Chain A
């Protein structure tokens, strides 16, 4: 056994890190010493969407590690809520599970409930600090410990056909004025300039992130970062201006007039069929565009009034090892396989934007230019950071603005109220500065 030669016990480690009573209780449940296993079985569950990529990863893992048995299952979690991970973890039914993202809605409740174990031993054992992007690790930590390992990044933007932009003699817009001029050209040609789905999961939120990042900048007062981790409020000017900008393009007929009625799938359909020139979406749409258009596609980020284009990124496919796991060592070995082993390579080749530095050169050009790869700074994609009250207010309210039910200022106030309420309810950690 290649046991970690750490002198401190888990309990002492927690004390040293000052996690307090909650962490200590959790720590006491975990008596395993982290090691590279020479045999074992682990049970792995993931939602069915990304799960299809993991079928290949699991196969490759079994081939490389015949000593480890994998019981792999996919779960359909897209429509209903937060329950399945909770159930699986509580029941001790899994050793590794995808908890979607490392954010307040997802990570903090299961952490508070003591359902997961820290990964710091494996982080040291496998040297993940060398391989996984620092920001991803930081945002997956609470109280100085790493609780989840996000494997992907996701970035939102507006997808386009290269040939369409060329035919209109426009490039990716660098300012609000250029962006509007571009939309006007599309509109004049009878195209839907920018399509987007609001019914179901509202992707108007994605427009808002992009405008807001562009207006508010990467950090400092008024930025998304300042609201999530600092003293900022949703009522800060850049956030309200971004909402106003959405209303402006909607009223000018530059945003799909059906936006409130249609779903994202309808929007995708309009884009793929050529009826719409731009489609608000993200890296999760890359494999489909590659399939549809070969290389004739790319994605841009939309500048807001007064700002330049700034990408919004966030971590996803965050893997956790439940506290009740029977074979965490085998699970961690698989995680490492996805961080720097063949698993990472397979995921990358399938168009995923990995949160690790391995095999970066294999990525398609559309991925190569994104900030995670280039090292350029990007703003936060905050979907998933927001607990239910805030998220509901955010999504419903953006629809309310376009429908004329509320003003952008009223919307901002409602989101801020919901956010404060979620903080008060303990849905969000009081001190968030160390996550930044």
Chain B
């Protein structure tokens, strides 16, 4: 048995059980009781279907026929990836991941610092203001933004018009060059609130004496933000950024209401991997291709999140 194996798995369960103390056995029993329900639930609804996906991706199955079809190896992957919608989906997903990682997090952090680290009043009002988008669920926000973005009566174009720019009438959701940014706009609008509230919590926990000391040393507000606030919320930032990265790589709840049911339009400009998967599996009969795309999405998310966490770990200050 390798070291890894003996750490992760129990090499000789019976022997270990016999040699364990009564106290240890009691802990094991309790652990089994505490772990079992959650593990069963996740096993049935997460791990089992996830493993099935990997298997399915190597077969040619339409999702409805009684038999699974032929084993075709990586052919399904070739089919699922050799087209324009797929390259668009990858491009958009990556772009969206980057936006998710930085934009709502930075705005949320700056806003939280502005409200918490200054003597602006009333704080409760500002906190409420930045959290307002989160009262709507992401999908509802996106559904509302179909109205906000409407070319004629939509809020944005009406404001542009009211400001006197009567010739400017962007087709927010109809112009392939800007539709993806319009969609990301909804995402940022909504998710910033989440980042904001978590950062607010983190900043409130920072030891106030640090600020007082900086004040005595004559540090500017920007310097305080840079040298006290940011380092103090580092772990929270990692947590928030990880969540935003995962959500940002799968923003289905935004794209679905904005472009439904001709998902991912106009001309694939808002295509993301989840919309492709949804179309293959739910609007047609291409279960195997959906599975292959699912595996690709899985690898993408695991890869990017792991890389991000590794990077954060590596660049962590040593204390």
Binding site for B on A (CB under 8 A): 78-83, 86, 105, 109-110, 112-115, 198-202, 258-263, 266, 387-389, 391-392, 395-397, 399-400, 403, 405-406, 414, 421, 425-427
Instruction: Mark B254-275 against chain A: 1 for CB-CB distance below 8 A, else 0.
Output: 0000011110111110000000
Residue of chain A at shortest CB distance from B170: A261
* Complex contacts, A198 vs chain B, CB 8 Å: 174, 262, 265-266
Are the C-beta atoms of A396 and B267 separated by less than 8 Å? yes
Are the C-beta atoms of B151 and A258 separated by less than 8 Å? yes
B283 within 8 A of A: yes
B279 within 8 A of A: yes
Are the C-beta atoms of A258 and B283 separated by less than 8 Å? no
Are the C-beta atoms of A200 and B175 separated by less than 8 Å? no
Alpha-carbon gap, A108 to B40, bound state (A): 37
Are the C-beta atoms of B259 and A199 separated by less than 8 Å? yes
* Complex contacts, B171 vs chain A, CB 8 Å: 258, 260-261
**Surface stretch bound by A, among B61-69, B102-110, B216-224:** B61-69
Contact of A427 among B62, B172, B175, B261 (CB under 8 A): B62
Is the contact region of chain B dominated by helix, strand, or loop, or is it mixed? loop
Alpha-carbon gap, A428 to B1, bound state (A): 53
Are the C-beta atoms of A396 and B265 separated by less than 8 Å? yes
Are the C-beta atoms of B286 and A425 separated by less than 8 Å? yes
Are the C-beta atoms of B279 and A392 separated by less than 8 Å? yes
Are the C-beta atoms of B267 and A406 separated by less than 8 Å? yes
Binding site for A on B (CB under 8 A): 60, 62, 64-66, 79, 84-85, 146, 149-152, 171-176, 259-262, 264-268, 279-280, 282-286
Are the C-beta atoms of B172 and A261 separated by less than 8 Å? yes
Contact of A82 among B146, B152, B265, B285 (CB under 8 A): B285
Are the C-beta atoms of A400 and B266 separated by less than 8 Å? yes
Are the C-beta atoms of A110 and B64 separated by less than 8 Å? yes
Query: Quick one: given A260-B171, A389-B286, are A109 and B265 in contact (CB under 8 Å)?
Result: no
Residue of chain A at shortest CB distance from B172: A261
Residue of chain A at shortest CB distance from B65: A113
* Complex contacts, B79 vs chain A, CB 8 Å: 421
* Complex contacts, B151 vs chain A, CB 8 Å: 258, 261-262
Alpha-carbon gap, A73 to B152, bound state (A): 39
Are the C-beta atoms of A82 and B174 separated by less than 8 Å? no
Alpha-carbon gap, A400 to B173, bound state (A): 13
Alpha-carbon gap, A241 to B244, bound state (A): 46
Alpha-carbon gap, A3 to B286, bound state (A): 41
* Complex contacts, B65 vs chain A, CB 8 Å: 109, 112-113
Query: Quick one: given A82-B283, A199-B265, A392-B85, are A261 and B174 in contact (CB under 8 Å)?
Result: yes
Query: Quick one: given A112-B64, A400-B267, are A83 and B174 in contact (CB under 8 Å)?
Result: no
How close is A226's CB to chain B, nearest CB, in angstroms? 24
Residue of chain A at shortest CB distance from B177: A403
Which residue, of A115, A388, A392, A395, has the highest number of chain B Cβ atoms within 10 A?
A: A392
Are the C-beta atoms of A396 and B150 separated by less than 8 Å? no
Alpha-carbon gap, A201 to B279, bound state (A): 13
* Complex contacts, A266 vs chain B, CB 8 Å: 150
10 A-B pairs (CB sep. < 8 Å): A79-B261, A109-B65, A113-B66, A202-B265, A389-B284, A395-B262, A396-B264, A400-B266, A405-B267, A426-B62
Query: Quick one: given A86-B64, A266-B150, are A259 and B174 in contact (CB under 8 Å)?
Result: yes
How close is A261's CB to chain B, nearest CB, in angstroms? 3
Are the C-beta atoms of A258 and B64 separated by less than 8 Å? no
- Supply 20 further A-B pairs (C-beta < 8 A) apart from A112-B62, A388-B286, A396-B85: A78-B261, A83-B282, A86-B64, A105-B284, A113-B65, A200-B261, A201-B262, A258-B174, A262-B174, A388-B283, A388-B285, A389-B284, A392-B85, A395-B262, A396-B266, A396-B267, A399-B265, A399-B266, A403-B267, A425-B60
* Complex contacts, A403 vs chain B, CB 8 Å: 174-176, 266-267
* Complex contacts, B267 vs chain A, CB 8 Å: 396-397, 399-400, 403, 405-406
Query: Quick one: given A86-B64, A258-B174, A396-B265, are A79 and B282 in contact (CB under 8 Å)?
Result: no
Query: Quick one: given A81-B283, A399-B267, are A200 and B260 in contact (CB under 8 Å)?
Result: yes
* Complex contacts, B84 vs chain A, CB 8 Å: 414
Query: Quick one: given A86-B64, A403-B175, A405-B176, are A262 and B150 in contact (CB under 8 Å)?
Result: yes
How close is B143's CB to chain A, nearest CB, in angstroms? 12
How close is B283's CB to chain A, nearest CB, in angstroms? 4
Contact of A258 among B62, B152, B262 (CB under 8 A): B152
Query: Quick one: given A387-B284, A427-B62, are A260 and B262 in contact (CB under 8 Å)?
Result: no
* Complex contacts, A387 vs chain B, CB 8 Å: 284-285
Which residue, of B66, B85, B283, has the highest number of chain A Cβ atoms within 10 A?
A: B283
Contact of A201 among B150, B176, B261 (CB under 8 A): B261
Query: Quick one: given A198-B174, A259-B174, A389-B284, are A109 and B62 in contact (CB under 8 Å)?
Result: yes
How close is B269's CB to chain A, nearest CB, in angstroms? 8
Are the C-beta atoms of A199 and B62 separated by less than 8 Å? no
Residue of chain A at shortest CB distance from B280: A388
Query: Quick one: given A395-B265, A400-B267, are A82 and B286 in contact (CB under 8 Å)?
Result: no
Query: Quick one: given A261-B171, A262-B174, are A396 and B284 in contact (CB under 8 Å)?
Result: no
Alpha-carbon gap, A114 to B64, bound state (A): 9
How close is B185's CB to chain A, nearest CB, in angstroms? 15
> What are the 6 tightest A-B residue pairs by CB atom distance, in nearest-first order?
A388-B284, A261-B174, A260-B174, A400-B267, A81-B282, A399-B266
How close is B300's CB to chain A, nearest CB, in angstroms? 22
Are the C-beta atoms of A260 and B266 separated by less than 8 Å? yes
* Complex contacts, B262 vs chain A, CB 8 Å: 198-202, 392, 395-396
Alpha-carbon gap, A260 to B84, bound state (A): 20
Alpha-carbon gap, A364 to B172, bound state (A): 41
How close is A434's CB to chain B, nearest CB, in angstroms? 22
Alpha-carbon gap, A177 to B285, bound state (A): 42
Alpha-carbon gap, A80 to B62, bound state (A): 17
Residue of chain A at shortest CB distance from B276: A392
* Complex contacts, B62 vs chain A, CB 8 Å: 109, 112, 425-427
Query: Quick one: given A261-B150, A388-B284, A403-B266, are A109 and B64 in contact (CB under 8 Å)?
Result: yes
Alpha-carbon gap, A115 to B65, bound state (A): 9
Are the C-beta atoms of A260 and B175 separated by less than 8 Å? yes
Residue of chain A at shortest CB distance from B64: A113
Query: Quick one: given A109-B64, A262-B151, A389-B286, are A80 and B266 in contact (CB under 8 Å)?
Result: no
Which residue, of A261, A263, A395, A425, has the highest number of chain B Cβ atoms within 10 A?
A: A261
Which residue, of A201, A400, A414, has the highest number of chain B Cβ atoms within 10 A?
A: A400
Alpha-carbon gap, A397 to B286, bound state (A): 20
Residue of chain B at shortest CB distance from A83: B282
